[in-house]
Amino acid sequence: MKDDFFFTLTTFRGGASVSGGISVGHLLRPGERSGIIMFCSEKKLREVERIVKANDREYNEKFQYADNRIHTSKYNILTFLPINLFEQFQRVANAYFLCLLILQLIPEISSLTWFTTIVPLVLVITMTAVKDATDDYFRHKSDNQVNNRQSEVLINSKLQNEKWMNVKVGDIIKLENNQFVAADLLLLSSSEPHGLCYVETAELDGETNLKVRHALSVTSELGADISRLAGFDGPDTKLMQNSGKTKFKRTSIDRLMNTLVLWIFGFLICLGIILAIGNSIWESQTGDQFRTFLFWNEGEKSSVFSGFLTFWSYIIILNTVVPISLYVSVEVIRLGHSYFINWDRKMYYSRKAIPAVARTTTLNEELGQIEYIFSDKTGTLTQNIMTFKRCSINGRIYGEVHDDLDQKTEITQEKEPVDFSVKSQADREFQFFDHNLMESIKMGDPKVHEFLRLLALCHTVMSEENSAVRNPEGQIKLYSKGADTILFEKLHPSNEVLLSLTSDHLSEFAGEGLRTLAIAYRDLDDKYFKEWHKMLEDANAATEERDERIAGLYEEIERDLMLLGATAVEDKLQEGVIETVTSLSLANIKIWVLTGDKQETAINIGYACNMLTDDMNDVFVIAGNNAVEVREELRKAKQNLFGQNRNFSNGHVVCEKKQQLELDSIVEETITGDYALIINGHSLAHALESDVKNDLLELACMCKTVICCRVTPLQKAQVVELVKKYRNAVTLAIGDGANDVSMIKSAHIGVGISGQEGLQAVLASDYSFAQFRYLQRLLLVHGRWSYFRMCKFLCYFFYKNFAFTLVHFWFGFFCGFSAQTVYDQWFITLFNIVYTSLPVLAMGIFDQDVSDQNSVDCPQLYKPGQLNLLFNKRKFFICVLHGIYTSLVLFFIPYGAFYNVAGEDGQHIADYQSFAVTMATSLVIVVSVQIALDTSYWTFINHVFIWGSIAIYFSILFTMHSNGIFGIFPNQFPFVGNARHSLTQKCIWLVILLTTVASVMPVVAFRFLKVDLYPTLSDQIRRWQKAQKKARPPSSRRPRTRRSSSRRSGYAFAHQEGYGELITSGKNMRAKNPPPTSGLEKTHYNSTSWIENLCKKTTDTVSSFSQDKTVKL
């Protein structure tokens, strides 16, 4: 039979509200027909009420409610050009080069033609615009897939197919079984008895179990008759209220580059002022001698005015100290890094054919700087697949396996499971190994039968966790299940003995990481139940204190329960979660779990993932009901924490500023031991208040693990914003449902888990993949490499351009500060976009210091990115000094060599053109040799680009100085024959060689001594890699061995033992130095676990690093 559902539209868009109305998702059986009404509104002012008429578009349109179309794109055809140009010129560098272009159009101050700036500027703007347009095209494509979904809408008294984007407020909609719904709906009627509708909300919260919604009492009996439906009010979707605004995300390197550009601009102005003053002095003292020669009239140009014009001329000439090609190169490198993520087969989930996707190309290097990860639980850490494992019935545990001596044994593959094939409805994949349960069923044990009957009738498909049923004998029974902390308080006093025994069983189950529920029932008198049901109907119809009256009636009937037992199910962890959490923790990344689940479930997952361990010094639980209680609990926890760390005292407890809290890292480093913080959503609401959040943040940041349970989507975002604002740390949020969207948008990096849980989180994310375990590779490999490559690229780029540009500054002192350029204009134009662009791109895209496997095996390599060590203001100044030194060598060695020197033919070679060719050639060779020294990982592409660029330079040089090109463009290429004449002189090549050696030898010597005397961890691993490569015969391959875990976890997960032990020993790889005291050498995890085996292998590996070094030295 085809299953039909009727709805009318209430509030748009993007998923289900968690309570009230119908939740959007897939409508599933049971339930055959239902009807819903739906409302929507753009959120301008907060609405108190809304007037809507069902099936009356003309009436509803006068309220100007928003339509049902979603917009995640930024541009359309008309707005793309103005908006994109506005965004691009918000970059300081782009606006700077636009101003320079305008200055170059003024003949009195421009020594360079306009094309030297406009060509690279147009190239950068065009490439960035193409990238932005491509990204937005895919957003439009994704929007259209949702907007064009079909539904049946009642129009003109008949059902018609309508696209979702054309559905209007108040429309009556028919939905069939398993059909997707993309808006908030109000249920009017259903073919299911009692007007029930069953909804799956995995798209919103990752929960795959069905939710029940009731039709309105006045319309529930209409069934398929929808001619008498009226309009109903509805709020804005909770999803849209909690999802937050899409924010423009920029990396810390982007922000630093903007600051550095301003600094360089200030430095450029200083150079211009110095040269302008020099020009004024030169004009007043020496320039008068040239006025007749230059055909100047007396007094036509004053020295001050000459200096003013010279200032602007040098601003134009020296502008290449910040080349515009820097930004286009950054975009190309980021695009390459994004494709590497998309192409990574190790992040491809073959079971569902889902690859990893970089949905943005601007944040890759920040993946290498993450300090805090905020993770959802259900569907992110877990598979959200519940498996029945054990139960306790009337004081007896079922689900364990015993040997002949009645001793508990491990369940292995050799054990024969219970045969359920006698029941045709049995799940073929379900396995249960305790045959005693089937024997008790066959023997007719009344408690076991009652227990299973309760499970069959009281479950998440029902509207409540309590069910009242009448058995064939006419007796009414109330079946109830729930958390033991709540249900045990409602038991009859006669259950005391069974309660104690069941509590022990529950503790045993929870200790194995299983999720538990208590099971109880109550026999009800027929007369009492009728009276109670009448009062419940009256309460449902009440207009005042309705919820309070209903809650009171349920409390009344849920008492004097008789305990039956408890269930224990396993919410399976995703594959590789434990290894990923362990590895990220050793990379000094703190993982906070933000979940809407109850506290007990979240804690169980924490223990299963090894975020929580029995070895922790203390676990602080914050459960205050008001701000005063929460503040007191937080401060007691801090006192307890500091009291156990006596070495920390006197003034270092709280570090606050008047407007902003800045926590000193010394505070965290002085805390010894492992601590955890657990706080529920109600307490968190008070803790996020302005006068309490400082205490919360300080305590949380000193804990190894933080778990926030029962939190709303908005609270998730608030926690992320709190850490972002006051810790100044790079954050990452990862989730799978629409309730994680706000958190994902708030974090610096948002990651969506794609799969059965829906696409809302993915659509809002910056990166997406199918399994949590891929986060390890995303951060430790792609993130670390991206940061490493970008930093090396920037260091080299600033060095190269300071060396290239400052030669003009030194030349100014020898040309009368006349704003004459050293190089010809074509060399200035092509230097950054042709001669040196490809080698630096190759290094920025392909370079790596260690292999991907060693990046995963040694998470401590991730720490430089967190500390921002590879590119910062100090590194920038070092690069500037290096560039200044190279510019001095490039200018003064050729200048000294050319001073009063004759060529081999006896002619004078110290002409301007020969000098320019010699310096230009020296510069190209020096920067090429320098990038060869900077390259850590050589590929065929690196060789082609570096040595090919030198070849291209000479090809273009001889072409531009040829007779043929001079004959065609005599005004543009005046250096005819100079290259051939200059580069045939041996002394010129000796000058080039001397300049190259003087430029690079100090760098070679410094790096050799630094790597040998003060090697970093990366240096040591690279040396070990090289030693291993030389020691291993090319033909021999060691067979791969697989080792099984030494301990069965309470959570079922499949993983292979990797080489992560490399990170857990904490021993320094340099044999002559003592071990570090960072605390990494401490094993943070439960004993007799797979991690101990991991640690042992790591110790051997690290020892081999040291041995290899000793042998090599």
Amino acid at position 6, single letter: F
Q: What letter does residue 122 receive in the DSSP assignment?
A: H
CB atoms within 10 A of CB 300: 9
H or E element in which residue 752 lies: strand 749-753
Cβ neighbourhood burial of 254 (10 Å; 0-12, 13-18, 19+): middle
CB 88 within 8 A of CB 128: yes
DSSP, collapsed to helix, strand or coil, labels residue 424 as coil
Task: List the helix and strand counts (H, then E) for the chain.
Answer: 38, 26
CB 249 within 8 A of CB 362: yes
Give 237's Cβ-side CA count (13 Å radius).
29
**Spacing of C-alpha 271 from chain mean position:** 42
Per the listing, tokens 């006896």 go with: 906
Q: Which of 132, 184, 376, 857 is catalytic?
A: 376
* Pairing verdict, β 675-680 and 705-709: parallel
Q: What letter does residue 418 receive in the DSSP assignment?
A: P
Please provide the DSSP assignment of 182-194 as one string. Answer: -SEEEEEEESSGG
d(CA 481, CA 16): 26
Write phi, then psi, for 750 (nearest 5 degrees): -115, 130
Please provide the DSSP assignment of 360-377 as one string. Answer: -SS-GGGGGSEEEEEE--
User: Please, what is the Cα angle at 791 between 787 and 794, to 5 degrees?
Assistant: 140
Write phi, then psi, for 591 (nearest 5 degrees): -110, 120
DSSP, collapsed to helix, strand or coil, labels residue 822 as coil
CB 1098 within 8 A of CB 1061: yes
Radius of gyration of the chain (CA): 36
Residues in CB range of 701: below 8 A, 6 or more apart = 590, 663, 668, 723, 727
- Cα distances from 1077 to residues 667, 1065, 1066, 1068, 1091, in angstroms, run 16, 12, 8, 10, 21
CB 1028 within 8 A of CB 855: no
Please provide the DSSP assignment of 427-465 as one string. Answer: -TT-----THHHHHHHTT-HHHHHHHHHHHHSSTTSSSS
Helix 784-812 × helix 252-285 angle, to 10°: 0
Q: What letter does residue 908 receive in the DSSP assignment?
A: B
Q: Is 376 a catalytic residue?
A: yes
CA nearest neighbour of 4 among 38, 36, 34: 34
Give 277's Cβ-side CA count (13 Å radius).
5
CB 520 within 8 A of CB 490: yes
CA nearest neighbour of 1078 among 1062, 1060, 1066, 1065: 1066
CA nearest neighbour of 146 among 73, 238, 233: 73
Amino acid at position 783, single letter: G
**Spacing of C-alpha 1020 from chain mean position:** 30
Please provide the DSSP assignment of 687-715 as one string. Answer: HTSTTTHHHHHHHHHTSSEEEEES--HHH
CB atoms within 10 A of CB 851: 14
Give 627's Cβ-side CA count (13 Å radius).
8
* Pairing verdict, β 749-753 and 396-398: unpaired
d(CA 373, CA 686): 23
Q: How many residues does the chain have?
A: 1113
Active site residues: 376
